[in-house]
Chain A
Amino acid sequence: MNNTQSNTIFKTIRQFIFITILLATWELSVRLCDLPSLLFPSFASVIQSFIAQTLNGELIHRMIFSLYLIGIGLSIAIISAMIITALSVCIRWISEWVQVLLAIMHPLPGIAILPIIILWLGTGPQSIIAVITISAIWPVIANLSIGLRSIPPTQIEVGRNLGLNRFKLTWFVLLPGAFPHILSGLRIAWARAWQAAVAAEMVFGASGGEGGLGWFIYKKRFFLETADVFAGMIVIVLIGLLIERVGFEWIENITVRRWGMTTHG
């Protein structure tokens, strides 16, 4: 336990050093090569506008709105994916349908459907939620069904022999068995939800009052506020890091790692 903990700390320190070197190179190359700030703002000016935009509340407001849309879209995607997978586990022909649908829809970027979504649902937040849901649902379904299929039949047989009923079998055997796949499905879904949310807002620009970080970046682009564009990207990166480090790694630690299902560190 102690060993893993110190390993994690060293890993974090090494990554931190790498990021610092990267940022220092950025700042130095801007200063030494005299790059035009329109094309490549210095890291210092990016931090300045990050702080300014955080203090005036705009970045936080946009971030909350983006997270709100992603929260709704992801929840719909995950719940529908669970229902669809449950149905396809129980009923064979549904499973065949889902496989075909998956083959068709999974490679299609959610954002490619946006023009159709706008026609059907208009240009409000509901369209962005729809794009997020469509982007996120397929990786969840794909990983859920791969996870369930990858459970060795002997484990299920053992469960049955122990006299577990359907619900207990799902809860104690199927779900833990599929969990590494479920987790990677969620990771992909989370990443795709962000991509969809930001991309959708940059295509039809959301609307003044109710726009997230995509709208922030989009608007700043039109006013040539390049440092603010970077500030918007930094927020997205920070949220991503936070969710990965605090959210997913924590879940991983209390589940698959504790169950001894993963070996890499």
Chain B
Amino acid sequence: MFRSKRLITTFLCITLVLVSIFNGNLLYASRPELKIAGQFGLVYAPLMIAEKLQIFQKHGLTPIWKEYGSGAAVRESLISGDADVGFMGIPPFLIGWDKGCDWKVSMGFVVVPVGLVTNDPRIKSLKDFKPADKIAVPSPGSVQHILLSMAAKKELGNPTALDQNLIALPHPDAAASLISKRGIVAHFTTPPYLFEELEQSGFHLVTDDVRAFGTRFSFNVGVVTSKFHNRRSVHYRAFVNAIEESMAWINQNTKKAAELLAPEFKLSPEKTYKYMTWPGMEYTTRALGLMGFAKFMKEAGYIKKVPADVKEIIWENVKL
């Protein structure tokens, strides 16, 4: 009895060691699985189309989707090894890079209009926000928070001038609060919430991405860890090609894409099409604005270092 117990224990130990060796090294490189961490919304149309048209499978990959509620959660998923690639805003990416995460940008992912919408006719510019006026952003350190900070520096001379007004709310909750005029007076947001809020009577833009940042930029970037890029380079290429194919398909068949995605967004196909082709929306893999964000975030104290060259934070395939 005692001997057989020991035998089983030894066997289990050997199995465990073998499994961990194979899992960690040999199998990692050959598995076609691609764990993708993203969020939900119009921005993610290329991923959703790739799923509907099985584009990843065409490129020899088996995608495993993981949907999160914020860029920070996507980032945590990459750090903990739950995901191979993740989509997040440039600021969350840079905060991770600054803190020593071993990763780079593999592609830009959609340029979208971002705007600060208010429900208060009194507020014409950032100067008009009183201390009690709450401004909703999805989270601290998000693209929207950094844009607000940029606008505050331009208009009020201090990047943290409005930090006391911040409230972190997910987009749907913030949109509901803004429309019902409860709790918040302004919301820094993206489509479709931006479009829906601006359709309300009396709602207007206080500032937007172009005024705050100066030019258009990639709202999201595809972030890939060095581990995945270096050890599964074939799959890395396949991933980039798949996204490029999906984006090209959307740009050539926007009407059809809108029809396919409308039920996901619970919008009519016409409205989805209108939103997908709104001025300022562009599905492109060019990575825009990386250094602009890095320089501002260093100046304002959100990160401690700036890449000396943009090559430090992009993989070799990225078009700027």
Within 8 A of A (CB), among B171-197: 173, 176-177, 182-184
B184 and A39 contact, CB distance less than 8 A: no
Closest B-chain residue to A223, C-beta based? B141
In Å, the complex CA distance between A118 and B182 comes to 9
Closest B-chain residue to A37, C-beta based? B100
From known contacts A205-B167, A208-B165, infer whether A222 and B140 are also in contact, taking CB-CB under 8 Å. Answer: yes
Tell which of B80, B92, B173 touches A204, judged by Cβ atoms closer than 8 Å: B173
From known contacts A219-B140, A223-B95, A223-B302, infer whether A205 and B169 are also in contact, taking CB-CB under 8 Å. Answer: yes
Instruction: Mark contacts of A219-251 with chain B using CB atoms, 8 A cut-off: 1 yes-contact digit, 0 otherwise.
Output: 101111000000000000000000000000000
A123 and B177 contact, CB distance less than 8 A: yes
Interfacial chain B residues near A204, Cβ < 8 Å: 167-169, 173
In Å, the complex CA distance between A219 and B137 comes to 12
B168 and A205 contact, CB distance less than 8 A: yes
B140 and A223 contact, CB distance less than 8 A: yes
Interfacial chain A residues near B182, Cβ < 8 Å: 122
Indicate whether B99 reaches chain A with its CB closer than 8 angstroms.
Answer: yes
Minimum C-beta distance from A123 to chain B (A): 4
Within 8 A of B (CB), among A201-219: 204-209, 218-219
Tell which of A39, A122, A206, A218 touches B177, judged by Cβ atoms closer than 8 Å: A122
Tell which of A38, A218, A219 touches B99, judged by Cβ atoms closer than 8 Å: A38
Closest A-chain residue to B102, C-beta based? A36
In Å, the complex CA distance between A221 and B141 comes to 10
Q: How many chain-B residues does the 8 Å CB contact rule pick out? A: 31
A39 and B167 contact, CB distance less than 8 A: no
Most chain B CB neighbours (cut-off 10 Å) among A37, A38, A123, A209: A123
From known contacts A123-B167, A208-B165, A222-B72, infer whether A118 and B79 are also in contact, taking CB-CB under 8 Å. Answer: no
Indicate whether B10 reaches chain A with its CB closer than 8 angstroms.
Answer: no
Indicate whether B96 reaches chain A with its CB closer than 8 angstroms.
Answer: yes
Indicate whether A124 reaches chain B with its CB closer than 8 angstroms.
Answer: yes
Interfacial chain A residues near B131, Cβ < 8 Å: 209
Minimum C-beta distance from A67 to chain B (A): 20
Minimum C-beta distance from A141 to chain B (A): 30
Minimum C-beta distance from B114 to chain A (A): 18
B163 and A39 contact, CB distance less than 8 A: no
Tell which of A38, A206, A221, A223 touches B167, judged by Cβ atoms closer than 8 Å: A206
Minimum C-beta distance from B179 to chain A (A): 12
A118 and B173 contact, CB distance less than 8 A: yes
Minimum C-beta distance from B100 to chain A (A): 7
Tell which of B96, B134, B167 touches A224, judged by Cβ atoms closer than 8 Å: B96
Closest B-chain residue to A206, C-beta based? B167
Interfacial chain A residues near B176, Cβ < 8 Å: 119
Minimum C-beta distance from B182 to chain A (A): 5
Interfacial chain A residues near B141, Cβ < 8 Å: 222-223
Most chain B CB neighbours (cut-off 10 Å) among A36, A119, A208, A219: A208
Closest A-chain residue to B136, C-beta based? A123
In Å, the complex CA distance between A86 and B26 comes to 69
Interfacial chain A residues near B183, Cβ < 8 Å: 118, 122-124
From known contacts A39-B80, A122-B177, infer whether A222 and B142 are also in contact, taking CB-CB under 8 Å. Answer: yes
Indicate whether B57 reaches chain A with its CB closer than 8 angstroms.
Answer: no
Interfacial chain A residues near B75, Cβ < 8 Å: 224
Closest B-chain residue to A226, C-beta based? B99
Indicate whether B166 reaches chain A with its CB closer than 8 angstroms.
Answer: yes
Interfacial chain B residues near A218, Cβ < 8 Å: 140, 168
Minimum C-beta distance from B152 to chain A (A): 12
Interfacial chain B residues near A209, Cβ < 8 Å: 131, 164-165
B167 and A207 contact, CB distance less than 8 A: yes
Minimum C-beta distance from B248 to chain A (A): 34
A207 and B165 contact, CB distance less than 8 A: yes
Tell which of A37, A119, A124, A207 touches B166, judged by Cβ atoms closer than 8 Å: A207
Closest 10 CB pairs of A and B: A205-B168, A122-B183, A207-B167, A209-B164, A208-B166, A222-B141, A208-B164, A222-B140, A123-B183, A224-B99
Given A208-B166, A208-B167, 13 additional A-B pairs, CB 8 A: A38-B79, A39-B80, A123-B183, A124-B183, A205-B169, A206-B167, A207-B165, A207-B166, A218-B140, A221-B72, A222-B70, A222-B92, A222-B142
